[in-house]
Chains A and B, each alone.
Chain A
Amino acid sequence: MSRKPAAPPADRRARIMITPEGLALPVTIAPRASRAGALIIDVMIIVTGLIIFQMVMQWIAGGLLDSTGFDLEGGETGAFEFLIILFALVVFVTWYGYFLVQELGPRGATLGKRIVGIRVAARGGARLTPEAVIARNLLRDIEIFYPLITLVVLLVMANTGQDIGILGWVAAGWFALFLLFPFFNHDSLRAGDIVAGTWVVDRPRTKLAEVLSTQGAATANGASEVTGARYDFGEAELSVYGEKELQTLERMLRDAQPDALKAVHAAICRKIGWDPGAGDERAFLEAFYAQLRAKLEGDMRFGKRKADKHS
């Protein structure tokens, strides 16, 4: 096989979307597990809601029967029938309305999808339309719920001794085909997504982190708060590392773990041939980060980029 070595999962799910302004935006395809989880949460919410609704209705209907003194045999009064129709309509409207209204809302996600942090979007940067949302939700029934119900009915029939023949296997195959559908295409689309032209992506939630070059020893004439020393690095020392190492260092400085900083400090000192001291790691790293970034960004403005330490 001449395939490239498998990328880490997050990269394999990364896609590029072009906005109308011509800007390439990275999007991440939602993992199949979160989508399944979201659906389970949604179904549980709907079913719980309907059960509560039915219990309230039964309570009302029970009161109705008691107060009018009807026995259950003749209980099909107008009001009783009205409750049955009401319930059928409520089930229908809840089942479709729950998904349609929420996925057409500004978040593009049902409650379950919001909980797991994903949303529906039109493939390739188009506008999400009501038609697309309707199509993907209509197909969900055929993909999952009808075969599931058919299977359950067939199992019950088989248990009561009726001959169901090959039908059970057909239903099971149908169910498996659509359930496994997302595993056999690039963007983990289910059949409904293909028909509707949508995909499900991760919802980004990134808070703006603080500016590093205004703190501590990273400022222009910043000195260590502990020792008062100023760290100045020369051209040779700063050209050891590239952008990848710079951004690793940035991550370390932001989620500061003193032990990890110590190790990084020692590694950098070894690399640039300094004598690692102790006790002032943070100031050293802040100064090194700021000066390395100043150098790399300066080069960048002249079109010179250094991806990592090997280049």
Chain B
Amino acid sequence: MKAPIISSWFGRGTVAAPPDIESAALRSDRFRLEREGEWRRLEDIIARMERGGMRRIADEDLMALPALYRTATSSLSVARETSLDAATLSYLEALVQRAWFQVYGPRMGFVRWLRGFLLGGWSRAVRALWLDICIALFVMVAGTIVGWLLVAQDEAWYYRLFPASPGEARVPGASREQLLEVLATEENASGLSAFAAQLFSNNSAVCILAFALGFAFGIPSLLLLVHNMALLGALLWLYDGQGIMVELAAWLSVHGTTELFGILLSGAAGLHIGRAMAFPGKLPVLDAAGAAGRRAAVVMVGVVIMMIVAAVLEAFPRQLVEGTQNRFMIGGTMLLFWLSYFFLYRPAPPAESGAA
């Protein structure tokens, strides 16, 4: 046995001298010995790329990488036709596969992706879902109306939508003062931030659920939207009965414009996947679902960010800001901000956009 080749683990581009080429009896082994140095150099570069990104690779190694990769692929196809050395063949197959993962690997890490996402990628993805957004919006409006009408016809529906918990002031028959009290501001911000964190995990769970349920052809996503909006419709009806619907709308709009927009987007994202699976068009179902899933996933990352914003708004300004007008102003500003960010902000897409 020869000593293990330690130099190739540590040294840059240095490889142990292979046995004398002339001593090999077989032509295929001579072929291998002539190219072995390049294979080992490629393996060494690949191993260093796998360990720690690009920074530790010398420029000349990086320049050599495509050529070395092509050498290895052509060696493999030649070896498959001329060599019966199983060990060399499987080594080359593994080497080319590893090199392929590096040469054709993800172009960017998470941080760079996040920057591109905030600067245009997000709004592009949202615009790509416009049809699903329209459908989801229609369903949400319909859900609100359904909720209103249901409760208006029969008050028992209210308790079905909101299972009564003791101490809950928001029930049919509550007085105007009781209802207004819920909308009042807290005295100070203590305890609200923990409340925000809790709200955030609750809301994002609903959104991720709406997205994931799209898997079943999008129908559960729509049902979830209808259910959530029926709650809103019932609440609106309750406050309308006492003539304070505007106050409620203002109170809700502070965070609601952001939160409902987020729920709208996640429902649309779920619907997008469901639609691609139900009507895959010319693609195979799996490919269609994959393409739609990747588009929808971008939107979902954005939804999680929107939920963070909504939770912060819900915990602080909504409880601290007094006055219908001020509340409407915050909510309206947020809505305007999101709308213009998604539909007016259109930076040119990066030239080498691999997302499709």
Query: Which A residues are closer than 8 A to B by beta carbons?
Result: 17, 19-21, 23, 25-27, 76, 81-82, 84-85, 88-89, 92, 97, 100-101, 104-108, 119, 121, 123, 127-135, 138-139, 141-142, 146, 191, 194-197, 203-214, 218-220, 222, 243, 246-247, 250-251, 254, 290, 293-294, 296-297, 300-301
Contacts and interface: CB of A to CB of B under 8 A. Distances in A.
Given A129-B106, A146-B205, A194-B286, A293 B77 contact: no
Contacts, number: 213
Contact of A211 (B32, B106, B286): B32
A123 B298 contact: no
Interface string B5-45: 00000000000001110011111110011001001100100
A219 B50 CA distance: 38
Interface residues of B, number: 83
A256 to B, nearest CB: 10
Interface in B92-121: 93-98, 100-102, 104-110, 113
Nearest to A220: B25
A84 B29 contact: no
Contacts of A207: 91
Interface string B54-77: 000000000000000010010011
Contact of A210 (B2, B213, B291): B2
A106 B49 contact: yes
Contacts of A101: 109-110
Interface of B: 2, 18-20, 23-29, 32-33, 36, 39-40, 43, 49-50, 53, 70, 73, 76-77, 81-88, 90-91, 93-98, 100-102, 104-110, 113, 190-191, 193-194, 196-197, 200-201, 205, 208-209, 211-213, 215, 273, 286-287, 289-298, 300-301, 354-355
Given A85-B197, A131-B298, A142 B88 contact: no
Contacts of B105: 106, 108, 127-128
Given A23-B96, A197-B287, A250 B297 contact: no
B208 A138 contact: yes
A135 B110 contact: no
Given A76-B191, A85-B196, A250-B87, 10 more contacts: A130-B110, A194-B290, A197-B294, A209-B87, A211-B32, A214-B23, A243-B84, A251-B86, A296-B84, A300-B81
